[in-house]
Amino acid sequence: MIRILKKRLYTLQSTLLDDDWPSNIHIVANNLNSTKSAKLGGLSPNEITPENESQVQELRHTNDNILTVDQMMKNQKDYEESSNPLQVKQSVPI
């Protein structure tokens, strides 16, 4: 998020030819808070209210790609049994 803020602030300052970043950062922050986000269900941070906050939280958790221990163990087993020539603990000539 900081990277996006810095990039937009730099773009604004370049456009305005202005070095007064403390006053410009409020413009950029308001613009970012008004931007709709797919991660927030198509809402902007300004549009999130206590009424729809739980729906946004549910949406965020369904989009997480978090592996369980069982999934990681299955992936490791599948990898070790694969015909991939590179395996764990295998020496590779350089």
Pair (77, 43) in one structural domain: yes
The pLDDT tens digits of the residues spanning 69-91 come to 888 888 888 888 887 767 666 77
The pair of three-digit structure tokens given for residue 81, joined into one six-digit string: 């049994």
54's tokens: 């739980």
Query: What would the pLDDT profile of 32-81 be if each residue is shown by its tens digit?
Result: 899 988 777 788 888 888 888 777 777 766 655 667 788 888 888 888 88
Task: List C-alpha distances in Å: 70 to 13, 38, 66.
Answer: 50, 29, 12
**Judgement on whether residues 46 and 14 belong to the same structural domain of the protein:** no
Q: Provide the domain count of the chain.
A: 2
User: Please, which residues have CB within 8 angstroms of residue 21's CB and are 6 or more apart in sequence?
Assistant: 9, 13
Q: Please check whether residues 28 and 46 belong to one and the same domain.
A: no
- Kindly state whether residues 2 and 24 are assigned to the same domain: yes
74 and 43 in a common domain? yes
Domain range spanning residue 70?
Answer: 39-82
Arithmetic mean of pLDDT, 5-26 = 87
